[in-house]
Every structure is written in structure tokens, then in C-alpha cells.
Structure 1
Amino acid sequence: MSASALNLFAPVARWWAYRDLVRNLVSKEIKIRYQGAALGFAWSLMNPLMITLMYLVVFTYVFRSNLPHYPLFMVVGIIHWNLFSMLVMQSSEILVGNSDLLKKIYFPRLLVPFSSLLVNATLWLMALGIMLLMFTPLGGTWHWGMLLYPFYLLLFLGFTFGIMLTLCVLYVDFRDIKHLVEVFIQLLFWATPIIYPITRIHHPAMVMIMKASPLAEFTLIFQSLFWKGAVPPWNLTLAFAGWALLSLAVGLTLFYRRGAMLIERL
């Protein structure tokens, strides 16, 4: 194997050496989060299920929609939005919340936000499982294009992870970041075609802006796979892949350039 290839896989090998630490961080976080709760992990489903049920009732019986299989349309968008919002909302305090561990022992600092990603993704898989169980009753049709879902989900997680890295670094010096995120996450929800199709927007400029949004792109991709029963267009795939790479590049660059200097200020 060439020297360049060895240099490429060196960080992966170094992180793999700390796999027990990652496993312990994930296990500890899950146990602490639901310690003493009678229903345990089931509570991780309550919030997304209640929110989904509320929107279904409102937009099915109050503000009726003529979209075919509208409950499926909404569930697909909300399930994936919940993962995004959960990861982003909790990302600000990742470094600050683990300051004692970061100051006591040395290990790759990137494993802390990565462990947070694993914790929330693990709990979210339960909600995804319920959506897949209800997929056919809600009007969904299984097709070969759904085999591409893991690829799109990885792009989605990569895009979100880049945002997580950026926010957790900025939060050390700018504590208002957390409150700004809480405000803007609500605005972004309504600015993303989750409970309404993008075709309902008739202003050309607004349609152009929304289609350029990475949040709208990932929603359209998942709706295409699960609701439309079709493979997402290649231009949409390339656009979102570009957003994912850009997000990761910015997040990793900021994390590695400022991360070491931030430990003393945690």
C-alpha cells in the first residue's frame, strides 16, 4: 500500500483504537437520559409521535389537504426533520458538557460530537422502524429505489454532523448560539416543505430560494423515495451531496483549527 493511502487511513485506525471509549460514551448517555424512567427508550418516541399526530389531526380534519396519501407525506418529512432538529439543538453544549472528560484524558476530540451523533441516531432508529412498519398502511409502495436510502441517509447525517461541529465550537465563545438555534430551528421548520408541498408556493423567487435550501433538498429526496415511489433526480442528489461535503469541510476545519485552543476555556 502506498504512503498516501496509509496517511489517508491513519486517522481511521487511530479512532478505531478508541472504539471502547465511544461505546462507553454512547452507553452512558443513553442510560443517564432514561435513568429511572419506567418506559425507558420508549420515551424517545413520544415527542415525535405526538408532534406527528398533532399535525395529522390539524391538517387532515381542520385544514384539509387534497394530496394523495397525505399522512405518509407528512410523516416522512417530520421523522427526518426530528432527527435533524434533535442533533442540531443538542450540539451546542457537546464540548462544554464533556469538559471534565476532555480536560482529564487525551483522545481524539472529534469522538465526543461523533458519540452524540450515534446516541441520537440510535434512538431515532426506533421512530424510523415504526414509520417503515406503517409504510404500506399509509399508502406507500416498496420499490427498488429505496435501496438507495442508506446512501441518502449518510449524506444527511454528514450534512448535519458538519453543522454540529460548527455549533459546538462556536458555543464555547458565544453562548447565545444555543438560543439563536432554538429560535431559528422553528423558523426553518415552516420554511421547509414538510407539511406542505413545494408546489403550493406560487411566488417564483420563493420557489427558487427554497429549492436551493439544503433542508428543502433533503426533504424532497426523502419524499421522492417514500411518498412518490421514485428515485430522486440526479441534479437533486448532486446538489445535496455538495451541501453535505461543504458542511463537513467547514465543520471539520473549524473544529480542528479551534478545538485544541478551546479546551482551556471550557
Structure 2
Amino acid sequence: MTGRNAIGTALQHLIRYKPLLRELVVRDLKVKYRRSFLGYLWSLLNPLLMMAIMTVIFSYMFRFDIPNYPLYLICGQTLWNCFNEATNMAMTSVIQNGSLIKKVYIPKFIFPISRVLSSFVTMLFSLAAILVVMICTGTVFHWEVLLFWIPLILMFLFSCGAALILSAIAVQFRDIMHLYSVITMAWMYGTPIFYPVDKVPTAVQIVIKLNPIYHYINFFRELVLYGMIPGPNTWFACIASSFLILVIGLAVFRKLQRNFILYI
């Protein structure tokens, strides 16, 4: 099956099982904020509080000379948190729904995709925090900010691909759930979330620019923080990485799902 056919088949299943997908996303959101007094308001408060703490640490203690550092920081932090939460939640999604998979036929990739989608919805609430920071810091609103959804959609596709790979591997190789926390820690520090990329050695910059998350964050910052449309290299890196990982994720998941029933 070619990449185009794989994506087309997946879209058909998503449309057919849209009610189930919606219920899974609603369930995840309800569970996340269950018995919370502030509920969805934490989607706004949490990034603001984290931004305030990290601004003090990195802007004053490490003295990174970045104009409008609070906005620079919260842009990177919001996108990274979405990717990190989505992939971590999706990794165990097939295992946790094993009893349902054994009873009825459901396209199994629905479960990791629903986890990515619920994290993406949470991130959309968190965009209000970015708007608050823009207003409080007196950021000029350029028309380019209206294109903010482009890097978010591309990162969503990349997250779906990564989630499919992780969830498929985790069924047979449970150690990945422990290993991935180490990987994401290294990945986070290898992504310019709270430091400028030009402050690291040139050799390290080359490695960082192989990181797809760096390009999504950079794309988003260019639009929101600087009011600029990124160059063709950034567009190519974001589009190519998102669709490549998505196709690979669908292929890996499709191959490994045949044996899921033996391990769940």
C-alpha cells in the first residue's frame, strides 16, 4: 500500500468512526479535568505559571538576551507540551483499550489518534495564554499571526505519525514506555524552547536543525513573535517531516497490529 493509499484509507476510517473518535476525545478531556475545581481554566493558567517561573530562571539567572522572552518561551513551551503529552498518552492507548479491541471490530489506530486529538484540543485552549502574553507585553499584532494554524496542523500530523509508531511498538515492547521518558527529556533539551539556537556551537546547531519539532516551533514563532513568514527551508522541513512520519507511522502500525491480540 502506497503512502497516499494508506492516508486515504485512514481518512475513510476516521470519517466512518467519527462519533467514536469524538466520544474518545471527550472522555479523555473529562478524565483529565475530573474533580478539578478550575477545570479547563488550567489550560490557560498552567502555561502562564510555567512561563513565569522559567522566565525568571532563564531570563534573569542565565540572562538570555532575547527580545520579548516571555512570548518566545511560551510559544515553544506550548507546542512542545502538546507533542510530549500527545505521544505519551497515545503510547499506551492500544494497551488500555485491549478489552474493547477483543470484543468488537474497531480500527485500532483510532485509539492513538484520539489521544493526539485530545492533546491538540487542550493546546488550542492554551493558545489563550499566548494571547494574554502578547497583550501584556505589548506585542504588535501583524497579519501573519493569522497563519498560526499552519505549523500547528503540521505538528499535529507529525504527532499522529509518532503516536502510531509508539503505540504499535509498546504493545509488544513495554520497555519503550520507560525508555521514551528519557528520550523526550533529551529531545526537550535538544529543542530551543528556552534558549536561542544561535547560542550553541555550530556543530550542535546542525543537529538541532534535524529536529522536526524545532522547525514547527520556529515556524510558529516567526508568525506570532516576529510577524514574518518563514523561508522555503522551514516550509519544506515542516511539510516533509510531518507527511513522512505519518506515512511511516501508518505503515508500521498496519504491519504490527496483526499481532496485537496476542499481547493485549
TM-score greater than 0.5 by the shorter chain: yes
Distance, in Å, in 1 between the alignment partners of 2:104 and 2:179 is 32
Contact 1:217 1:240 in 2 (8 A): yes
1:253 equivalent in structure 2: 251
Distance, in Å, in 1 between the alignment partners of 2:158 and 2:13 is 23
1:189 equivalent in structure 2: 188
Q: Does 1:225 align with 2:215?
A: no
Gaps (5+ residues) in structure 2?
A: none
Distance change in 2, residues 1:17/1:88 (3 Å)? closer
Task: Find the residue that maps to 1:228 and give its secondary structure.
Answer: coil
Name the amino acid aligned to 1:26.
V
1:34 equivalent in structure 2: 33
Provide, for residues 24-71 of structure 1, a one-character-per-residue CA deviation record: whole Å limited to 9, x for no partner.
Answer: 212222222332222222344554333322211112332223221111
Report the Cα offset of residue 133 of structure 1.
Answer: 3.0
Provide, for residues 70-92 of structure 1, a one-character-per-residue CA deviation record: whole Å limited to 9, x for no partner.
Answer: 11111111111111111122222
Distance, in Å, in 2 between the alignment partners of 1:246 and 1:76 is 25
1:132 equivalent in structure 2: 131
Listed as ranges, the matches of 1:1-266 within 5 Å are: 12-201=11-200, 203-266=201-264
Name the amino acid aligned to 1:91.
A
Distance, in Å, in 2 between the alignment partners of 1:126 and 1:166 is 27
Q: Percent identity?
A: 30
Moved over 4 A (4+): 5-11, 44-47
More deviation, 125-134/249-258: 125-134
Contact 2:64 2:196 in 1 (8 A): no
Provide, for residues 194-214 of structure 1, a one-character-per-residue CA deviation record: whole Å limited to 9, x for no partner.
Answer: 11111112x222121112221
More deviation, 148-157/42-51: 42-51
Distance change in 2, residues 1:84/1:207 (3 Å)? same
Distance, in Å, in 2 between the alignment partners of 1:8 and 1:63 is 45
Distance, in Å, in 2 between the alignment partners of 1:113 and 1:6 is 20
Contact 1:140 1:226 in 2 (8 A): no
Provide, for residues 126-149 of structure 1, a one-character-per-residue CA deviation record: whole Å limited to 9, x for no partner.
Answer: 111221233132243222222322
Distance, in Å, in 2 between the alignment partners of 1:185 and 1:141 is 33
Distance, in Å, in 2 between the alignment partners of 1:199 and 1:85 is 24
Distance change in 2, residues 1:233/1:77 (3 Å)? same
TM-score, normalisation: structure 1: 0.90
Provide, for residues 136-193 of structure 1, a one-character-per-residue CA deviation record: whole Å limited to 9, x for no partner.
Answer: 3224322222232222211111111111110000101111111111112111111111
Contact 1:26 1:116 in 2 (8 A): yes
Distance change in 2, residues 1:171/1:7 (3 Å)? closer
Report the Cα offset of residue 8 of structure 1.
Answer: 8.2
Distance, in Å, in 2 between the alignment partners of 1:155 and 1:214 is 10
Task: Find the residue that maps to 2:131 and give its secondary structure.
Answer: helix
Distance, in Å, in 1 between the alignment partners of 2:6 and 2:124 is 34
Gaps (5+ residues) in structure 1?
A: none
Distance change in 2, residues 1:12/1:159 (3 Å)? closer
Task: Find the residue that maps to 1:141 and give its secondary structure.
Answer: coil
Report the Cα offset of residue 13 of structure 1.
Answer: 4.2
